[in-house]
Amino acid sequence: MVDVLDGFWLPQKARQILLTEKTKYTTCSFCSGKACLSSDPGAISARWPIFTIEQWSQLFTILEENRLQAPVGEALWNRLNIGLQLAARRLSNPTEEIYQIALKTISGYTGYSAAMIHCAIQDISFFAPDQIKTAFSMDISRQVKKNWLIMDPLAGYLRFYPQKRWSRLAGMLSTQPDRLLHRSVHIPQVLIGYGAGNVPGTTLILTLLSLAISVVGGSPPITVIKNSRSEPIFSPLVLKILEKIDPQILSTMAVLVWDYEDQEIQKLLLDRTDLMIAVGSDATINQLNQQIVRASKQQQRQIRFHAHGHKVSFSALGKEVLALGQVEPKSKQSMLDIVALLAGLDSVFWDQQGCLSSRVHFVEESTRPGYLSALDYAKKLSEQLSRISSRIPRGELPLKDLHDRFDRYKQLELGGKVIVTSTYNDEFLIVIDRRPWDVEIFRNIVNICLGRTIFIRPIKDLMELPNVYLGMLPENNLQSLSMAVGWLGQTVNKRFMDFAAACGSRGVTAIRTVGRGAFPQLAYSWDGYLPLDLVCSREKGYFTTIEFQKPIDEIYTTYHFWLEQISGAHIFD
């Protein structure tokens, strides 16, 4: 069907000038998530051009020229939104060749099942790009250091946690709470992004964020993004579709692959950039940070750096969702079934290889009659995972690891505090563990929650999660929490807000409802950064956002969305 795919994207003028018969390419081949030879059966190959330093300079010249003619301000963002809607329609249409190419190639390259790719590319609007404009227009006062602020008109709440402890204290005692947190405006003229990992879409998110900057007015920044070798197909594919719809909206953008250890290229980029956004391992982030510090010192200017290192995420269920007799009004499904399905999806997407994938599910148990137990949840989760797995199969990850974990924890049932509710033949593992957990045990468990391994941890009170468990993990590794709390029709209460504040202070940066864990909302906190942080500077620290106000209402909405997606999941034979 396809030969070698493009793992890069350049605007038309750059392609015409820089890509010639003499252009050399690097080709990378993967099959089922593992590097292979291009001649191996099932190999999917992607290529990207190798540019000389002169060609890199030429690229910047072209992008600068394009920028003079590119749409500006909100007009660009509106056009992009329209383009995204049209692109989403094509990508969700199984009769479209582009859909078939996307499924076959991304699945073959990454090893993720075609059905998972289908679900993920179904609805780009899940990222809520229409909310970006609102996110840029927020005035965030310093009150946010002390209290949750409503993100009006967006649904949700916002809080800021300064890096320095004294600043946190000062925030609590602030006498000028209405002053804005964001001090000065720094609209980047050049943005360099680094994508990584095998989860599709990281490069696309960086692209969208960069274009979103135009919302504040003016031209979009010149943007060069390093694509991920582990998944180089999706983003260029989407950009190609967008270019066909509206070529001008992407004219200031380039997606290529290079080594951040290539000193010559890095110097050229660091000489020009105002803002660097990097997604990568902690080691990569550290190296890039060192380069930025050196370059900033040499150039005597501040190059801003937004780092997105490797993270862990969790789920938490409040006891109210375990109360007997709750059903969703439209489908008449029980609350437990719905929550188990959605929380299961939060763990299943990307087979827990993504930072957003939930690892441990904390379940608040009630001692009062009329409530189900964590074991009931575990059994229901096993049922729902069986159902999900038949529609969204596990990717090409070794089953041996799952088997070894199954064996190990099945043996532990002997102690009476561990129950394995899945079977050896399941392509997932569910363990409910009531043993005492120290730091080492908890960290080991977090680390083995990969490939659809879910631990369920009963807790007596939701506050145990931040007070006991989150404190055992490094703050900068915490990311999101997907929640099932509250009652239908009701907004979050004080108990929940105190809980959220405690989680935020531990380092959690995003709190969503179950079923949305794997899909970051661009308007909200991404590892503690808001869209406003792209164009303004502030003191060091991070934002935590709660992305809902009526959690159960949102959970039910999400449920219906996913029912439709899962039932329509296209699976190749």
Partner 1 sequence: MDILQEERKTVSMQKPLQNLSAFPIASFWEINPEERAAILMQAIIDTHKWHFPRNNSYRRTVEARGIEAEIAVSDLARLLRPTSQVFKSYIDLLGTPFPQDKTEAFIDWLADQVSLHLPVERAKKLHSRYPSMEAILQAVEALYADYGFEFSTSSGTSGRASIMLRDKTSMDRTVESFYLSYKRYFGMQVDHRAVFVMPAQTRIAMARMVNFSVKRIGIPSERTHFTIPFPAYPDQVRIRSGRVFKGGWRGQIERHILYPLMNRINDRFITPQAVKKTIEILRKSQETGEKVLLFSGWIQLHRIAQEIISIGKPITLLPGSLMGTGGGFKEFYEYTPEQIHHDLKLAVRTIENKPVPVRDVYGMAESNWAAMQCDQGNYHIPPWVFSVTLDDNDALQQGSDQTGLLAFFDPYGGGQLFPAFFKTADRTRLINGSLGYDPALNCLCGDQTAYMAKGSITRVDLIDEAGCAAQV
- Shortest distance, position 71 Cβ to partner 1, whole Å: 32
Measured from the CB atom, the residue of 271 and 413 that comes closer to partner 1 is 413
Measured from the CB atom, the residue of 335 and 420 that comes closer to partner 1 is 420
Measured from the CB atom, the residue of 36 and 497 that comes closer to partner 1 is 36
- Shortest distance, position 516 Cβ to partner 1, whole Å: 18
Q: Where do we find the tokens 């099959």?
A: 31
- Shortest distance, position 557 Cβ to partner 1, whole Å: 27
DSSP 424-473: TTSSSEEEEE-S---HHHHHHHHHH--SSEEEEEEESSTTHIIIIIGGGS
- Shortest distance, position 441 Cβ to partner 1, whole Å: 9
- Shortest distance, position 469 Cβ to partner 1, whole Å: 12
Cα–Cα distance, 526 to 355 (Å, whole number): 11
Measured from the CB atom, the residue of 475 and 539 that comes closer to partner 1 is 475
- Shortest distance, position 420 Cβ to partner 1, whole Å: 8
User: How many Cβ atoms from other residues are within 10 Å of residue 536's Cβ?
Assistant: 20
Measured from the CB atom, the residue of 542 and 548 that comes closer to partner 1 is 542
Measured from the CB atom, the residue of 439 and 571 that comes closer to partner 1 is 439
Measured from the CB atom, the residue of 261 and 404 that comes closer to partner 1 is 404
- Shortest distance, position 418 Cβ to partner 1, whole Å: 9
Cα–Cα distance, 75 to 195 (Å, whole number): 27
**Angstrom distances, CA of residue 429 to CA of 378, 423, 480:** 10, 8, 22
Tell me the sheet residues that pair with 5.
46
- Shortest distance, position 110 Cβ to partner 1, whole Å: 8
- Shortest distance, position 468 Cβ to partner 1, whole Å: 16
- Shortest distance, position 473 Cβ to partner 1, whole Å: 5
520 preceded by cis ω (within 30°)? no
Cα–Cα distance, 491 to 438 (Å, whole number): 35
Measured from the CB atom, the residue of 170 and 472 that comes closer to partner 1 is 472
Cα–Cα distance, 144 to 177 (Å, whole number): 8
Report yes or no: 546 and 157 within 8 Å, Cβ to Cβ: yes
Report yes or no: 545 and 531 within 8 Å, Cβ to Cβ: no
- Shortest distance, position 20 Cβ to partner 1, whole Å: 35
Cα–Cα distance, 27 to 35 (Å, whole number): 11
Tell me the Ramachandran region of residue 200: left when phi exceeds 0, alpha when psi lies from -120 to 50, beta otherwise.
Answer: beta
φ and ψ at residue 216, rounded to 5 degrees: -80, 0
Measured from the CB atom, the residue of 66 and 422 that comes closer to partner 1 is 422
* Spatial CA neighbour of 572 closest among 101, 6, 44, 2: 101
Integer distance in angstroms from the first to the last C-alpha of the chain? Answer: 16
Please report, as ranges, the residues that interact with partner 1 according to CB under 8 A.
33, 196-199, 202, 230, 279, 281-282, 308-312, 350, 352-355, 357, 398-400, 403-404, 406-408, 410-412, 414-415, 420, 423-425, 435-436, 443, 446-448, 450, 473-474, 477
Burial of residue 530 (number of CB atoms within 10 Å: 0-12, 13-18, 19+): buried
Measured from the CB atom, the residue of 242 and 348 that comes closer to partner 1 is 348
Beta strand 358-364 with 304-308: parallel, antiparallel or unpaired?
unpaired
Measured from the CB atom, the residue of 36 and 412 that comes closer to partner 1 is 412
DSSP 332-397: --BHHHHHHHHHHHHHHGGGG-STTSEEEEEEEPPSSTTB--HHHHHHHHHHHHHHHHHHS---S-
Burial of residue 204 (number of CB atoms within 10 Å: 0-12, 13-18, 19+): buried
